[in-house]
Structure 1
Amino acid sequence: MTDKQSRPAREEYGYLCPVDSRWSDNDIYGHINNVVYYSYFDSTINRYLIDEGGLDIHQGEHIAYVVSSGCDYLEAAAYPEPLVVGLKVDKLGNSSVRYGLALFGNEGVAKATGFVVHVFVNRESGRPVPIPGPLRDALTALS
């Protein structure tokens, strides 16, 4: 655990997405299982890309693959606590983006911080492509 004063605050993230925890998210120890945090992160990223960047996850020519991810758990979260995931862009490349993420509870400091790296690819070939314009614009807004 880290000092609460040294943790990121909500204001450091350009996009905030409410997350409804579920009873099944808790594990036998009474807190949300660590793998569920990745699900929250993934859902937040994709919600942003769909809503703000026009990503068509079903029929679009381009999709994004997760190639790297990580999470630091700073404080336990548990159902039914209301949660929010903060999203920002740490690095924007030609075909890839590294997102910075944080999970917040009722307090203004992060319970967990993480990162995800996406590489944008052609759906059919699976080969990297430059990030399409509308998606790049949406990602630039979080840089």
Structure 2
Amino acid sequence: MTGPAEFAYTLDIPTRWKDNDVYGHVNNVVYYSFFDTVINTFLIAEGGLDIHTGAVIGLCVESHCRYDAPLAFPGTVRAGLAVDRIGVSHVRYAVSLFDAGGADGAGPPLAAEGWFVHVFVDRTSRRPAPLPDGIRAAVERLAR
């Protein structure tokens, strides 16, 4: 995806002082935290995911990130979220991260893009469970 406007859901995430590493940019592991943040913010707000007491929870079983440009503190990351695949108990998300402070008229520059796969499981047994209706409806709105 070339810009945040191509995503049905975006979230601005501020970088934190501790995100920078000794090289002066956001460390690569933090990008996965940004992925997790945009996905779970969406699922809680739009899909009704109850992370504390819900019978079904999502577990990450696969993720990938390609780094295109550095991010740094202080700054704001604009995370774009789409859905590439919906199964009975899994969702594969597409996530792109943009430097929201680096816009030069052409839109924020792409910093990273990747994917993230959730398998939804029964909270107790950890066995795969069908997507709850609210979550299914929410992720279907992001399907591309």
TM-based fold match above 0.5: yes
Q: 2:85 aligns with which of 49, 74, 91?
A: 91
Q: In 1, distance between residues paired with 2:5 and 2:115?
A: 17
Q: 2:21 aligns with which of 19, 27, 37?
A: 27
TM-score (norm 1): 0.92
Question: In the TM superposition, what is the alpha-carbon distance from 1:95 to its structure 2 partner?
Answer: 0.6
Give the AA of the match of 1:76.
P
Q: In 2, distance between residues paired with 1:63 and 1:110?
A: 30
Q: In 1, distance between residues paired with 2:32 and 2:94?
A: 12
SS of the residue corresponding to residue 70 of structure 1 reads strand
What CA deviation, in whole Å up to 9, does each residue of 1:37-64 have, x standing for no partner?
0001101100000000000000000000
Match of 2:65 in 1: 71
Task: Kindly indicate whether residue 16 of structure 2 is the aligned counterpart of residue 38 of structure 1.
Answer: no
Q: In 2, distance between residues paired with 1:82 and 1:18?
A: 6
Question: CA-atom RMSD, angstroms?
Answer: 1.0
Match of 1:4 in 2: none
* Displacement over 4 Å in runs of 4+: none
Match of 1:80 in 2: 74
Give the AA of the match of 2:122.
N
Match of 1:110 in 2: 110
Q: In 2, distance between residues paired with 1:122 and 1:67?
A: 15
Question: In the TM superposition, what is the alpha-carbon distance from 1:83 to its structure 2 partner?
Answer: 1.5
Unaligned runs of 5+ in 2: none
Q: State, as a whole percentage, how many aligned pairs show the same letter.
A: 48
Question: In the TM superposition, what is the alpha-carbon distance from 1:94 to its structure 2 partner?
Answer: 1.0
Task: Kindly indicate whether residue 75 of structure 2 is the aligned counterpart of residue 60 of structure 1.
Answer: no
